[in-house]
Amino acid sequence: MYPVLLLTILGVLLALAIGLVVRYFDAPEDAQGDAVRSLMPGANCGGCGFAGCNDYASALLRGEAKPGACHAMSAENLEKLCRLLGVAQEAVGEPLVAVVCCSGDDNHAVHRAFYNGVNDCLNAVLVAGGAKGCSYGCLGLGSCARVCPFGAIEIRPDHIAKIHPNLCRGCGKCVSICPRKVIKLVPRSVPVMVYCSSPNKFAMKKQFCSAACIGCRKCQKASGEDKIFINGFLASVNTEDPPDASIVEVCPAKCLRTICPPTAEAAESVQK
C-alpha cells in the first residue's frame, strides 16, 4: 500500500514541477530565427567572418550582417533568406572555388629527403622546411583536407592535394591553413589556372619539379597581355579577365590547366 501511495505522490509532485518549469522558463518562440538558422549550411566554416553558422544567423537577425557573406550557401537558400529577412537580394559576390596551384606530385616533384614525423603539413614545414624539393610545392600531407568542412579536398596517393570543384564552396579555410600558401580562391567563372606557385628561376625549378611553369610566355602570347600576367618566371591568370579554356593547349609544361574538367575525356587528357 505504502509504495503505491509514495509513487503516486512522487509522480504528482514531479508532474507539477515539470509544469511549472514549462510555464515559467519556456524560451520565447522565435520562428524567424529558427527559419534563418535552418537555411544555414551548418558547416561552421567561419568563411563569413563569424564564429560559425549560429553566430552569423544571430548577426543577420540583429541586422549586423548582410546575406551573401556566406560563400557556402546555395543560391536557392540565399533567395529564401533574403525573402525571410525582407531585404532586396543584392548583387552577391560571385561564388568562389579553391585551387591547389601546384602540379608537383610524386611523378614530377623531387623529395630532397625522407621525412619522418607527424603526417601533417603544418608539422612537416617545421622540419627543414618540408621534405619536398620545391619550397613552393604542395606537401600533400593533408592539413587542408582535415580542415575542409565540406570534404572537398582529396589527398592523392602521389602526395598532392586535389580540390573537387563541385564539392568546394569557397569558404577559404584551406587557404589560410596551407603553410606553403599554394591554395588560391578564384571566382568560379575562371576556367583555367596556372598549377604552379614557384617564382624561382628556371634552373632551380627544373631541379626539383618537371611540371613547373617555366615562364615561356606561350600562354601570354596566345591569349594576350592582359589575360595572363608573367611575374619573373611564373605565369598567373588574370582572374578578372581570364582567358578561354582552350588556352591550356599551348602550355608545354602542362601546368596551365582547366579548373573544372568539362568532360571525362578532358579530365583524363589533363591528367596525362
Partner 1 sequence: MFSFGKFYGGVHPDDGKIASGSAIEDAPLVERYVIPLRQHIGAPASPVVAKGDKVLRGQLLAQAGGFVSAPVHSPTSGKIVDITTCLGPMGNQLPAVVLESDGEDQAAEPMPPMDWHNASPADLKKRVGDAGLVGMGGASFPTIVKLSPPADKPIDTLIMNGVECEPCLTADHRLMLEHPDRVLTGAEIVAKILGVKRIVIGIERNKPDAIALLNKLIKAGDYKGIEIHDLPMRYPQGAEKQLIFAITGRQVPSGGLPMDVGCVVQNVGSAATIAEAVGAGKPFYERITTVVGTPLVRSGNWRTRVGMSYKDAITLAGGVKEDPAKVISGGPMMGFSVYSLDIPIMKNTSGILLLSASELSQYSSGACIRCGRCNDGCPMSLTPGLMSVQIENEHYDMAEKWHVMDCIECGCCAYSCPAHRPLVQHMRRAKSVIAASRRAAENKK
Partner 2 sequence: MSETEQTVRLPDMTHLVVSSSPHIHDKDDVRAIMLKVICALAPACLASIYIFGIRALMVLLVCAASCVAFEALFTRMQGRPLRVNDCSGLLTGILLGMNLPVTAPLWLCVVGSLAAIGLGKMAYGGLGYNPFNPALVGRVALLIAFPSAMTTWALPACNPLKWLGADAATGATPLALLESSEAEAAAMPSFSALFWGGTGGSLGETCAAALLVGGIALVFLNVIRWQIPVCLLGTVALCTGIGHLVHPEQVASPLLHLFSGGLFLGAFFMATDMVTTPLSRKGAVVFGIGCGLFTSAIRMWGNYPEGMSFSILIMNSLTPLIDRFTARRPFGVRDARKEVKA
Residues that bind partner 2 (CB under 8 A): 113-117, 123, 126-128, 131
Amino acid residing at 184: K
Determine how β-strand 228-231 pairs with β-strand 96-100. unpaired
- # chain residues binding partner 1, by CB under 8 A: 17
Q: Which is nearer to partner 1, 100 or 131 (CB)?
A: 131
Closest to partner 1 by CB, 129 vs 252, is: 129
Nearer to partner 1, 113 or 167 (CB): 113
Q: Which residue has the cell 541586422?
A: 63
Measured between alpha carbons, how far is 232 from 169 in angstroms, rounded to an integer? 32
Residue 122 binds which entry of partner 2, partner 1, none, with Cβ cut-offs from 5 to 8 Å by kind?
partner 1
Q: What span, in angstroms and rounded, lies between the C-alpha atoms of 178 and 212?
A: 19
Of the residues 9, 10, 126, 270, which one makes contact with partner 1 according to CB under 8 A? 126
44 binds partner 1 (CB under 8 A): no
Least separation in angstroms between residue 42's CB and partner 1 is 20
Q: How does strand 192-194 pair with strand 256-258?
A: antiparallel
Choose, by CB under 8 A, the member of 127, 224, 249, 262 that binds partner 1: 127
User: Using CB distances below 5 to 8 A depending on partner kind, what does residue 119 bind out of partner 2, partner 1, none?
Assistant: partner 1
CA distance 40 to 72: 9
Residue type for 35, please?
A: A
Bridge partners (DSSP) of residue 229 are 236
**Helix (H), strand (E) at residue 50:** none
Q: Residues interacting with partner 1, by CB under 8 A?
A: 112-113, 116-120, 122-123, 125-131, 135
